[in-house]
Amino acid sequence: MKNNIRVERAIVRMTQQQLAEAVSVSRQTINAIESCKYVPSAVLAMKIARTFGKPVESIFSLEEED
């Protein structure tokens, strides 16, 4: 699963720590999601999308092999 969390954070000038606090996870979790080492739960994906005011599909997308 691909994501563009890093881009969305840059647009609103938000750090990983700030996003982590907004969605109640650790900064390491945000880092792992951004580096595609961890796939978030549906609830966490929706919280992240809501933080940026965007639909989940604009933040996360499936790759061919997913």
In CATH terms, the fold of domain 2-58 is 434 Repressor (Amino-terminal Domain) (1.10.260)
Residue 66 has pLDDT above 80, yes or no: no
Q: What are the residue ranges spanned by the domains of the chain? A: 2-58
The model's pTM: 0.92
Distance of CA 31 to the CA centre of its chain: 9
pLDDT of res. 45: 98
Residue range 32-43, pLDDT digits in tens: 999 999 999 999
Provide the token pair at 33.
Answer: 């999601």
Q: Which residues contact 15 (CB under 8 A, 6 or more apart)?
A: 9
Mean pLDDT computed over 15-21 = 98
Give yes or no for a contact between 36 and 3, defined as CB atoms under 8 angstroms apart.
yes
